[in-house]
Structure 1
Amino acid sequence: MIVNETLKIIKQRRSIRSFKDEQIKEEELQAVLEAGLYAPNAGGQAWHFTVIQDTELLNKLNIAAKEAAKHHGLGHLKELGIDETFNCLYGAPTLVIVSGNEQSPIPLDADCAAATQNLLLAAESIGLGSCWIFFVLLAFYSSQGPELRKELKIPEGYKPYYSAVFGYKKDTIIYVPDRKPDLITYIR
Protein backbone atom coordinates (compact mmCIF):
# COMPACT_ATOMS: atom_id res chain seq x y z
CA MET A 1 0.00 0.00 0.00
CA ILE A 2 1.26 3.47 -0.91
CA VAL A 3 1.83 5.76 2.07
CA ASN A 4 2.83 9.42 2.03
CA GLU A 5 2.22 12.50 4.20
CA THR A 6 -0.94 13.57 2.34
CA LEU A 7 -2.56 10.13 2.62
CA LYS A 8 -1.57 9.96 6.29
CA ILE A 9 -3.26 13.33 7.01
CA ILE A 10 -6.43 12.26 5.17
CA LYS A 11 -6.64 9.05 7.22
CA GLN A 12 -5.94 10.66 10.61
CA ARG A 13 -8.29 13.70 10.28
CA ARG A 14 -11.26 13.43 12.64
CA SER A 15 -14.09 15.74 13.66
CA ILE A 16 -12.99 17.40 16.89
CA ARG A 17 -15.66 18.54 19.32
CA SER A 18 -13.53 19.57 22.28
CA PHE A 19 -11.24 22.59 21.99
CA LYS A 20 -8.82 24.47 24.20
CA ASP A 21 -9.76 27.98 25.27
CA GLU A 22 -7.07 29.55 23.10
CA GLN A 23 -7.31 31.33 19.74
CA ILE A 24 -5.34 29.86 16.83
CA LYS A 25 -2.33 31.80 15.56
CA GLU A 26 -2.77 34.16 12.62
CA GLU A 27 -0.22 32.27 10.51
CA GLU A 28 -2.14 29.02 11.11
CA LEU A 29 -5.41 30.68 10.08
CA GLN A 30 -3.83 32.07 6.91
CA ALA A 31 -2.36 28.67 5.99
CA VAL A 32 -5.78 27.02 6.37
CA LEU A 33 -7.54 29.73 4.36
CA GLU A 34 -4.95 29.60 1.59
CA ALA A 35 -5.49 25.84 1.27
CA GLY A 36 -9.22 26.52 0.89
CA LEU A 37 -8.53 28.96 -1.93
CA TYR A 38 -6.64 26.24 -3.82
CA ALA A 39 -9.54 23.77 -3.81
CA PRO A 40 -10.74 22.40 -7.14
CA ASN A 41 -13.65 24.31 -8.62
CA ALA A 42 -15.71 24.31 -11.79
CA GLY A 43 -14.54 27.76 -12.67
CA GLY A 44 -14.32 31.25 -11.32
CA GLN A 45 -13.63 30.45 -7.66
CA ALA A 46 -17.14 31.72 -6.87
CA TRP A 47 -16.80 31.26 -3.13
CA HIS A 48 -16.25 33.56 -0.19
CA PHE A 49 -14.85 32.72 3.25
CA THR A 50 -16.14 34.52 6.34
CA VAL A 51 -13.91 34.10 9.39
CA ILE A 52 -15.49 34.71 12.80
CA GLN A 53 -13.30 34.84 15.89
CA ASP A 54 -15.37 37.29 17.93
CA THR A 55 -16.69 35.35 20.96
CA GLU A 56 -19.89 37.40 21.26
CA LEU A 57 -20.72 36.84 17.60
CA LEU A 58 -19.98 33.12 17.88
CA ASN A 59 -22.38 32.94 20.84
CA LYS A 60 -24.99 34.90 18.89
CA LEU A 61 -24.74 32.43 15.98
CA ASN A 62 -25.06 29.48 18.35
CA ILE A 63 -28.19 30.95 19.96
CA ALA A 64 -29.78 31.85 16.60
CA ALA A 65 -29.07 28.37 15.20
CA LYS A 66 -30.56 26.72 18.29
CA GLU A 67 -33.64 28.93 18.06
CA ALA A 68 -34.15 27.92 14.41
CA ALA A 69 -33.59 24.25 15.31
CA LYS A 70 -36.42 24.38 17.86
CA HIS A 71 -38.81 24.96 14.96
CA HIS A 72 -37.22 22.46 12.59
CA GLY A 73 -39.08 19.36 11.43
CA LEU A 74 -36.27 16.93 12.28
CA GLY A 75 -36.67 15.76 15.86
CA HIS A 76 -32.93 15.39 16.47
CA LEU A 77 -32.27 19.01 15.53
CA LYS A 78 -35.20 20.16 17.63
CA GLU A 79 -33.80 18.29 20.65
CA LEU A 80 -30.41 19.96 20.21
CA GLY A 81 -32.09 23.36 19.93
CA ILE A 82 -33.82 22.81 23.25
CA ASP A 83 -30.71 21.44 25.01
CA GLU A 84 -29.32 24.37 27.02
CA THR A 85 -25.89 22.72 27.34
CA PHE A 86 -25.43 22.17 23.59
CA ASN A 87 -23.08 24.53 21.78
CA CYS A 88 -23.14 23.86 18.05
CA LEU A 89 -19.63 25.30 17.71
CA TYR A 90 -18.26 23.10 20.51
CA GLY A 91 -16.44 26.03 22.07
CA ALA A 92 -14.08 26.41 19.11
CA PRO A 93 -12.47 29.85 18.86
CA THR A 94 -12.70 30.14 15.05
CA LEU A 95 -15.56 29.56 12.63
CA VAL A 96 -15.24 29.75 8.85
CA ILE A 97 -18.39 30.01 6.74
CA VAL A 98 -18.01 29.07 3.09
CA SER A 99 -20.52 30.89 0.88
CA GLY A 100 -21.07 30.59 -2.84
CA ASN A 101 -22.13 33.12 -5.46
CA GLU A 102 -25.72 32.24 -6.35
CA GLN A 103 -25.33 33.95 -9.76
CA SER A 104 -22.70 31.44 -10.83
CA PRO A 105 -23.79 29.43 -13.88
CA ILE A 106 -22.64 26.19 -12.28
CA PRO A 107 -23.84 24.54 -9.04
CA LEU A 108 -21.64 25.76 -6.21
CA ASP A 109 -22.31 23.25 -3.49
CA ALA A 110 -19.59 20.91 -4.81
CA ASP A 111 -17.06 23.74 -5.13
CA CYS A 112 -17.82 24.98 -1.61
CA ALA A 113 -17.61 21.41 -0.28
CA ALA A 114 -14.19 20.96 -1.90
CA ALA A 115 -12.99 24.23 -0.36
CA THR A 116 -14.29 23.14 3.06
CA GLN A 117 -12.50 19.79 2.79
CA ASN A 118 -9.25 21.60 1.94
CA LEU A 119 -9.69 23.78 5.04
CA LEU A 120 -10.15 20.68 7.21
CA LEU A 121 -7.19 18.79 5.76
CA ALA A 122 -4.92 21.82 6.03
CA ALA A 123 -5.92 22.24 9.68
CA GLU A 124 -5.06 18.62 10.44
CA SER A 125 -1.73 18.92 8.63
CA ILE A 126 -0.61 21.73 10.97
CA GLY A 127 -1.98 20.17 14.15
CA LEU A 128 -5.28 22.05 14.49
CA GLY A 129 -8.56 20.41 15.34
CA SER A 130 -11.55 21.01 13.13
CA CYS A 131 -15.15 19.97 12.63
CA TRP A 132 -17.45 20.43 9.63
CA ILE A 133 -20.57 22.05 11.10
CA PHE A 134 -24.05 22.06 9.53
CA PHE A 135 -26.04 23.13 12.58
CA VAL A 136 -24.78 26.73 12.76
CA LEU A 137 -26.11 27.40 9.24
CA LEU A 138 -29.62 27.13 10.70
CA ALA A 139 -28.96 30.62 12.10
CA PHE A 140 -29.50 32.00 8.59
CA TYR A 141 -33.01 30.53 8.59
CA SER A 142 -33.88 32.16 11.90
CA SER A 143 -35.63 35.51 12.27
CA GLN A 144 -32.13 36.98 12.71
CA GLY A 145 -30.88 35.50 9.41
CA PRO A 146 -30.91 38.68 7.28
CA GLU A 147 -29.34 40.71 10.11
CA LEU A 148 -26.63 38.06 10.61
CA ARG A 149 -25.77 38.03 6.90
CA LYS A 150 -25.17 41.80 7.10
CA GLU A 151 -23.27 41.62 10.37
CA LEU A 152 -21.03 38.87 8.96
CA LYS A 153 -20.52 40.87 5.76
CA ILE A 154 -21.51 37.94 3.56
CA PRO A 155 -21.48 39.45 0.06
CA GLU A 156 -24.82 40.20 -1.58
CA GLY A 157 -25.89 37.26 -3.74
CA TYR A 158 -23.83 34.74 -1.80
CA LYS A 159 -25.39 31.83 0.07
CA PRO A 160 -23.73 30.16 3.09
CA TYR A 161 -23.27 26.53 2.04
CA TYR A 162 -20.89 25.05 4.61
CA SER A 163 -18.99 25.92 7.73
CA ALA A 164 -16.26 24.51 9.92
CA VAL A 165 -14.76 25.30 13.30
CA PHE A 166 -11.05 25.35 14.12
CA GLY A 167 -8.98 25.36 17.28
CA TYR A 168 -6.45 23.48 19.35
CA LYS A 169 -7.53 19.96 20.27
CA LYS A 170 -8.28 19.43 23.96
CA ASP A 171 -7.66 15.69 23.70
CA THR A 172 -4.58 14.29 22.03
CA ILE A 173 -5.78 10.71 21.65
CA ILE A 174 -8.40 10.38 18.95
CA TYR A 175 -10.21 7.10 18.27
CA VAL A 176 -9.99 6.05 14.61
CA PRO A 177 -12.72 3.55 13.79
CA ASP A 178 -12.26 0.93 11.10
CA ARG A 179 -13.84 1.74 7.78
CA LYS A 180 -17.00 -0.16 6.87
CA PRO A 181 -16.47 -3.13 4.56
CA ASP A 182 -18.05 -3.41 1.12
CA LEU A 183 -18.02 0.33 0.30
CA ILE A 184 -16.16 -0.19 -2.96
CA THR A 185 -17.28 -2.03 -6.09
CA TYR A 186 -14.73 -2.78 -8.79
CA ILE A 187 -15.73 -3.29 -12.40
CA ARG A 188 -12.63 -4.15 -14.38
Structure 2
Amino acid sequence: MIVNDALKIIKQRRSIRSYKDEQIKEEELRAILEAGLYAPNAGGQAWHFTVIQNKELLDRLNLAAKEAAKHMDMEHLRELGNNEKFNCLYGAPVLIIVSGNVQVPVPLEADCAAATQNLLLAAESLGLGSCWIFFVMLAFNSPQGSELRKELKIPEGYKPYYSAVFGYKKDAVVNVPDRKPNLITYIK
Protein backbone atom coordinates (compact mmCIF):
# COMPACT_ATOMS: atom_id res chain seq x y z
CA MET A 1 0.00 0.00 0.00
CA ILE A 2 1.23 3.49 -0.85
CA VAL A 3 2.03 5.64 2.19
CA ASN A 4 3.09 9.29 2.31
CA ASP A 5 2.71 12.19 4.74
CA ALA A 6 -0.59 13.43 3.28
CA LEU A 7 -2.18 9.97 3.44
CA LYS A 8 -0.93 9.48 7.03
CA ILE A 9 -2.50 12.79 8.11
CA ILE A 10 -5.82 11.88 6.47
CA LYS A 11 -5.87 8.49 8.21
CA GLN A 12 -4.86 9.72 11.67
CA ARG A 13 -7.15 12.79 11.85
CA ARG A 14 -9.86 12.30 14.47
CA SER A 15 -12.52 14.51 16.01
CA ILE A 16 -11.04 15.80 19.26
CA ARG A 17 -13.40 16.71 22.08
CA SER A 18 -10.95 17.59 24.87
CA TYR A 19 -8.60 20.57 24.68
CA LYS A 20 -5.99 22.34 26.76
CA ASP A 21 -6.82 25.88 27.89
CA GLU A 22 -3.85 27.27 25.98
CA GLN A 23 -4.50 29.43 22.88
CA ILE A 24 -2.89 28.16 19.67
CA LYS A 25 -0.01 30.11 18.17
CA GLU A 26 -0.78 32.81 15.60
CA GLU A 27 1.45 31.16 12.99
CA GLU A 28 -0.42 27.87 13.42
CA LEU A 29 -3.75 29.64 12.97
CA ARG A 30 -2.50 31.41 9.84
CA ALA A 31 -1.31 28.09 8.36
CA ILE A 32 -4.69 26.48 9.04
CA LEU A 33 -6.57 29.39 7.43
CA GLU A 34 -4.27 29.41 4.42
CA ALA A 35 -4.99 25.71 3.88
CA GLY A 36 -8.70 26.53 3.91
CA LEU A 37 -8.19 29.16 1.24
CA TYR A 38 -6.58 26.57 -1.04
CA ALA A 39 -9.55 24.18 -0.95
CA PRO A 40 -11.12 23.15 -4.26
CA ASN A 41 -14.09 25.26 -5.27
CA ALA A 42 -16.40 25.81 -8.19
CA GLY A 43 -14.82 29.18 -8.86
CA GLY A 44 -14.64 32.50 -7.18
CA GLN A 45 -13.73 31.26 -3.69
CA ALA A 46 -17.11 32.49 -2.44
CA TRP A 47 -16.46 31.68 1.20
CA HIS A 48 -15.58 33.70 4.27
CA PHE A 49 -13.85 32.49 7.44
CA THR A 50 -14.77 33.98 10.82
CA VAL A 51 -12.21 33.21 13.53
CA ILE A 52 -13.42 33.47 17.12
CA GLN A 53 -10.91 33.31 19.98
CA ASN A 54 -12.81 35.42 22.50
CA LYS A 55 -13.83 33.09 25.38
CA GLU A 56 -16.86 35.18 26.36
CA LEU A 57 -18.19 35.10 22.80
CA LEU A 58 -17.49 31.36 22.51
CA ASP A 59 -19.49 30.81 25.71
CA ARG A 60 -22.37 32.92 24.37
CA LEU A 61 -22.42 30.95 21.10
CA ASN A 62 -22.55 27.71 23.08
CA LEU A 63 -25.46 28.98 25.20
CA ALA A 64 -27.38 30.32 22.18
CA ALA A 65 -26.98 27.01 20.36
CA LYS A 66 -28.14 25.08 23.42
CA GLU A 67 -31.17 27.36 23.76
CA ALA A 68 -32.12 26.77 20.12
CA ALA A 69 -31.59 23.00 20.55
CA LYS A 70 -34.12 22.90 23.38
CA HIS A 71 -36.84 23.65 20.81
CA MET A 72 -35.74 21.22 18.07
CA ASP A 73 -37.78 18.24 16.90
CA MET A 74 -34.89 15.83 17.46
CA GLU A 75 -34.90 14.44 20.99
CA HIS A 76 -31.11 14.00 21.01
CA LEU A 77 -30.60 17.72 20.30
CA ARG A 78 -33.13 18.71 22.97
CA GLU A 79 -31.30 16.53 25.51
CA LEU A 80 -27.98 18.22 24.67
CA GLY A 81 -29.62 21.64 24.90
CA ASN A 82 -30.89 20.82 28.39
CA ASN A 83 -27.60 19.29 29.58
CA GLU A 84 -25.95 21.93 31.78
CA LYS A 85 -22.54 20.24 31.49
CA PHE A 86 -22.54 19.99 27.68
CA ASN A 87 -20.34 22.49 25.84
CA CYS A 88 -20.73 22.09 22.09
CA LEU A 89 -17.28 23.65 21.57
CA TYR A 90 -15.62 21.21 23.99
CA GLY A 91 -13.58 24.00 25.60
CA ALA A 92 -11.53 24.61 22.45
CA PRO A 93 -9.90 28.05 22.27
CA VAL A 94 -10.63 28.64 18.56
CA LEU A 95 -13.81 28.37 16.50
CA ILE A 96 -13.78 28.96 12.75
CA ILE A 97 -17.10 29.49 11.00
CA VAL A 98 -17.16 28.95 7.24
CA SER A 99 -19.81 31.04 5.51
CA GLY A 100 -20.70 31.11 1.83
CA ASN A 101 -22.02 33.74 -0.53
CA VAL A 102 -25.66 32.77 -1.16
CA GLN A 103 -25.69 34.69 -4.48
CA VAL A 104 -23.31 32.22 -6.15
CA PRO A 105 -25.22 29.94 -8.59
CA VAL A 106 -23.18 26.81 -7.79
CA PRO A 107 -23.44 24.24 -4.97
CA LEU A 108 -21.64 26.44 -2.46
CA GLU A 109 -22.13 24.08 0.47
CA ALA A 110 -19.71 21.66 -1.19
CA ASP A 111 -17.09 24.40 -1.53
CA CYS A 112 -17.49 25.35 2.14
CA ALA A 113 -17.28 21.69 3.14
CA ALA A 114 -14.05 21.27 1.18
CA ALA A 115 -12.61 24.37 2.86
CA THR A 116 -13.61 23.02 6.28
CA GLN A 117 -11.93 19.67 5.56
CA ASN A 118 -8.74 21.48 4.56
CA LEU A 119 -8.81 23.38 7.86
CA LEU A 120 -9.14 20.09 9.78
CA LEU A 121 -6.36 18.34 7.87
CA ALA A 122 -4.02 21.31 8.26
CA ALA A 123 -4.61 21.30 12.02
CA GLU A 124 -3.78 17.59 12.20
CA SER A 125 -0.62 18.12 10.17
CA LEU A 126 0.50 20.67 12.79
CA GLY A 127 -0.25 18.34 15.69
CA LEU A 128 -3.38 20.27 16.71
CA GLY A 129 -6.76 18.85 17.55
CA SER A 130 -9.92 19.78 15.71
CA CYS A 131 -13.58 18.82 15.49
CA TRP A 132 -16.19 19.66 12.87
CA ILE A 133 -19.08 21.16 14.85
CA PHE A 134 -22.68 21.22 13.65
CA PHE A 135 -24.33 22.02 16.97
CA VAL A 136 -23.02 25.58 17.32
CA MET A 137 -24.64 26.49 13.99
CA LEU A 138 -27.97 26.24 15.83
CA ALA A 139 -27.05 29.56 17.46
CA PHE A 140 -27.95 31.27 14.19
CA ASN A 141 -31.50 29.87 14.55
CA SER A 142 -31.80 31.29 18.06
CA PRO A 143 -33.47 34.65 18.87
CA GLN A 144 -29.93 36.13 18.95
CA GLY A 145 -29.09 34.74 15.47
CA SER A 146 -29.25 38.06 13.59
CA GLU A 147 -27.39 39.87 16.34
CA LEU A 148 -24.68 37.18 16.35
CA ARG A 149 -24.21 37.44 12.57
CA LYS A 150 -23.60 41.18 12.96
CA GLU A 151 -21.29 40.77 15.94
CA LEU A 152 -19.30 38.10 14.12
CA LYS A 153 -19.06 40.39 11.08
CA ILE A 154 -20.36 37.72 8.73
CA PRO A 155 -20.61 39.59 5.41
CA GLU A 156 -24.03 40.59 4.09
CA GLY A 157 -25.31 37.92 1.71
CA TYR A 158 -23.25 35.16 3.33
CA LYS A 159 -24.71 32.22 5.21
CA PRO A 160 -22.83 30.29 7.92
CA TYR A 161 -22.65 26.69 6.65
CA TYR A 162 -20.01 24.90 8.73
CA SER A 163 -17.74 25.36 11.69
CA ALA A 164 -14.89 23.63 13.45
CA VAL A 165 -12.98 24.05 16.70
CA PHE A 166 -9.21 23.94 17.08
CA GLY A 167 -6.74 23.66 19.94
CA TYR A 168 -4.05 21.63 21.60
CA LYS A 169 -5.19 18.09 22.36
CA LYS A 170 -5.45 17.15 26.04
CA ASP A 171 -4.71 13.53 25.18
CA ALA A 172 -1.91 12.86 22.72
CA VAL A 173 -2.94 9.33 21.70
CA VAL A 174 -6.17 8.86 19.81
CA ASN A 175 -7.35 5.44 18.67
CA VAL A 176 -7.97 5.06 14.96
CA PRO A 177 -10.82 2.58 14.48
CA ASP A 178 -10.93 0.24 11.51
CA ARG A 179 -13.07 1.35 8.61
CA LYS A 180 -16.29 -0.49 7.80
CA PRO A 181 -15.97 -3.14 5.07
CA ASN A 182 -17.86 -3.14 1.78
CA LEU A 183 -17.98 0.64 1.29
CA ILE A 184 -16.32 0.56 -2.15
CA THR A 185 -17.64 -0.89 -5.41
CA TYR A 186 -15.33 -1.23 -8.41
CA ILE A 187 -16.69 -1.28 -11.94
CA LYS A 188 -13.94 -1.91 -14.51
TM-score range, shorter chain: over 0.9
Counterpart amino acid of 1:70? Answer: K
- SS of alignment partner, residue 161 of structure 1: strand
Q: Which runs of 5+ in 1 are unaligned?
A: none
Distance 2:184 2:76 in 1: 30
Give the paired residue count: 188
With normalisation by structure 1, the TM-score equals 1.00
Deviation at 1:175, TM superposition (A): 1.0
Q: Does 1:47 align with 2:23?
A: no
User: 1:114-133 counterparts in 2 under 5 A?
Assistant: 114-133=114-133
Q: Does 1:159 align with 2:159?
A: yes
Distance 1:44 1:172 in 2: 38
**Aligned residue for 1:58?**
58
Q: Which runs of 5+ in 2 are unaligned?
A: none
**Aligned residue for 2:33?**
33
**Aligned residue for 2:110?**
110
- SS of alignment partner, residue 78 of structure 1: helix
**Aligned residue for 1:175?**
175
Distance 1:28 1:155 in 2: 25
- SS of alignment partner, residue 72 of structure 1: coil
Counterpart amino acid of 1:22? Answer: E
Counterpart amino acid of 1:153? Answer: K
1:93-143 Cα deviation digits (max 9, x unpaired): 000000000001112100000000000000000000000000000000000
With normalisation by structure 2, the TM-score equals 1.00
Distance 1:37 1:89 in 2: 23
Distance 1:176 1:5 in 2: 16
**RMSD over equivalenced CA pairs, Å:** 0.3
Identity rate, percent: 81
Distance 1:129 1:70 in 2: 28
Counterpart amino acid of 2:179? Answer: R
Deviation at 1:57, TM superposition (A): 0.2
- SS of alignment partner, residue 99 of structure 1: strand
Distance 1:69 1:46 in 2: 29
Distance 1:126 1:156 in 2: 33
Distance 1:151 1:132 in 2: 22
**Aligned residue for 1:5?**
5
Q: Does 1:77 align with 2:77?
A: yes
Distance 1:85 1:3 in 2: 41
- SS of alignment partner, residue 91 of structure 1: coil
